[in-house]
Amino acid sequence: MTTSILRIDASIKPEGSISKQLTGDIVARLTAAHPDATVTTRDLGANPLPVTDGAWLVAVNTPVDARTPAQAEIAALSDALIAELKAADTVVIGLPVYNFAPPAQLKIWIDQMSRAGETFNYSEAGPVGLVKDTRVIVAYSSNGTRMGSDIDFASGYLRHMLGFFGITDVQFVASDHYAIDADSSMKAANEGVAALVA
């Protein structure tokens, strides 16, 4: 049952983004089946997150009651992003491929949430993800980097990081050869959206 949807867009295009079109189509399909579901949207291209740096590292690793006001502000954003992820039972992520890899904007979103004790823990058996019972649908878009090919460094990275957080229910919808054959690329993506179990 889908009750809370988190939509993450990462395209830097103000208009004409295929990944945004697909995330919109996916969310529309989900909300048509579950009209009472809430949708939270973050457009990382239009509203980029601050990069994780030394100040961020110190802030999130300082005990809450010992943080300066500046550190509290830095940590609060990271906390909010983690809370959004954990609150969603379905996450829809736009993954436009730039230079064979995920956009920097999406990488920063992941970096902001990569915190021991929050999204993962280390155990004697290795890392253990702390985000459970979450479904992710990824809208993969590329002009010619075929998903799963030797030059695709985007989809595998995202799947790995989601798994690192504990999310293993990950599905992909792909328009991955748009510059080569736009019609067949979008046809494949639209068929993928239509085949999703809402």
Binding-site residue positions for FMN: 11, 17-19
Q: Report the phi/psi class of residue 133: left, alpha or beta, with left for phi > 0 and alpha for psi in -120 to 50.
A: left
Structure tokens at 28: 């529309």
Q: How far is CA 77 from the centre of its chain?
A: 16
Give the phi and the psi of residue 190 in degrees, each rounded to 5: -65, -35
Rounded to an integer, what distance in angstroms lies between the CA atom of residue 88 and that of residue 155? Answer: 21
Neighbouring residues of 171: CB distance < 8 A, sequence distance ≥ 6: 135, 136, 137, 138, 196
Rounded to an integer, what distance in angstroms lies between the CA atom of residue 139 and that of residue 190? Answer: 11
Rounded to an integer, what distance in angstroms lies between the CA atom of residue 151 and that of residue 91? Answer: 25
H/E segment holding residue 8: strand 4-9
Please enumerate, by residue number, every residue annotated as part of a binding site: 11, 17-19
Closest CA to 56 of 8, 108, 107, 122: 108
